[in-house]
Amino acid sequence: MSVLRPLDKQPGLNTATILLVGAEDALLQQLADSMLKEDCASELKVHLARSLPLPSNVNRPRIDLIMFVVNLHSKYSLRNVEESLRHVDATFFLGKVGFLATGAGRESHCSVHRNTVVRLARTYRSPLLFCDLEVDGFRAPVAQRLVRMLQICAGHVPGVSALNLLSLLRSSENPALEDL
């Protein structure tokens, strides 16, 4: 059973790789395209996967950031993400994992309550972003944000590390929630 580990490979020169995991191929593809359109000093590589574990016979670069995409309209996508989380090593959760919830805008279509995803992100101590990936105007800022996060996780931003970023993101939320 292959488990993803953050430091088991050598980093590529000026390369930053993100892995997007989610059940909805179309949404992931659109997000990947938006990210690649962004201006970035590093070379960006975006990998898409429906679920983990990843096939072991492929030669892939070191993964710097994993984003799990949950569609609030589909319970299946939530279950898929929960299953995939088991194939990620614990050390990845030190700032190199994030959750993205899409579909909160259309409340009438939601099968998953947003608090379920919030609780999931809390359990894994990782940041959660909400974004309607289907809407172009909302997707572009999130893509920008992800590119910035990716650069930090790949170590391309001097003075800020992934763990540093994680603690910055956490301190802006209500401290009472830390007890959960």
DSSP three-state, residue 179: helix
Distance CA 98, CA 148 (A): 13
Q: Does the protein bind another protein through residue 26 (CB under 8 A)?
A: no
CA dihedral (151, 11, 89, 22) positive or negative: positive
Among 57, 115, 171, 172, contact with another protein (rule: CB under 8 A): 115
Which CB atom, from 52 or from 63, has the smaller least distance to another protein?
52
In the complex, minimum distance from the CB of residue 172 to another protein, in angstroms, rounded to a whole number:
12
Which amino acid is residue 60, in one-letter code? R
Confirm or reject binding of residue 172 to another protein (CB under 8 A).
Answer: no
Which listed residue (48, 118, 157, 160) binds another protein by CB under 8 A?
A: 118
139, 34 Cβ separation under 8 angstroms:
yes
The one-letter amino acid at 136? D
Choose the stretch contacting another protein; rule: CB under 8 A; options: 34-42, 68-76, 82-90, 161-169. Answer: 68-76
Phi, psi torsion values for 135, nearest 5 degrees: -95, 125
Q: How far is the CB of 47 from another protein (least distance, A)?
A: 23
Q: Where are the beta strands (DSSP E) in 23-158?
A: 43-49, 65-71, 97-102, 128-130
| Region binding another protein by CB under 8 A among candidate stretches 13-21, 70-78, 125-133, 134-142 | 70-78
Which secondary-structure segment (H or E) carries 61?
none
Measured CA to CA, the distance from residue 71 to residue 112 in angstroms comes to 8
For another protein, what does the binding mask look like between residues 119 and 158, x meaning CB under 8 A?
x--x------------------------------------
Q: Is 112 in the site for another protein (CB under 8 A)?
A: yes
Is residue 75 within the footprint of another protein (CB under 8 A)? yes
DSSP conformation class of 41: S
Determine, following the binding rule CB under 8 A, whether residue 170 of this chain makes contact with another protein. Answer: no
Q: One-letter amino acid identity for 41?
A: A
Per CB under 8 A, does 76 bind another protein? yes
In the complex, the residues that contact another protein under the rule CB under 8 A are 23, 73-77, 79, 107-113, 115, 118-119, 122, 174-177, 179-180
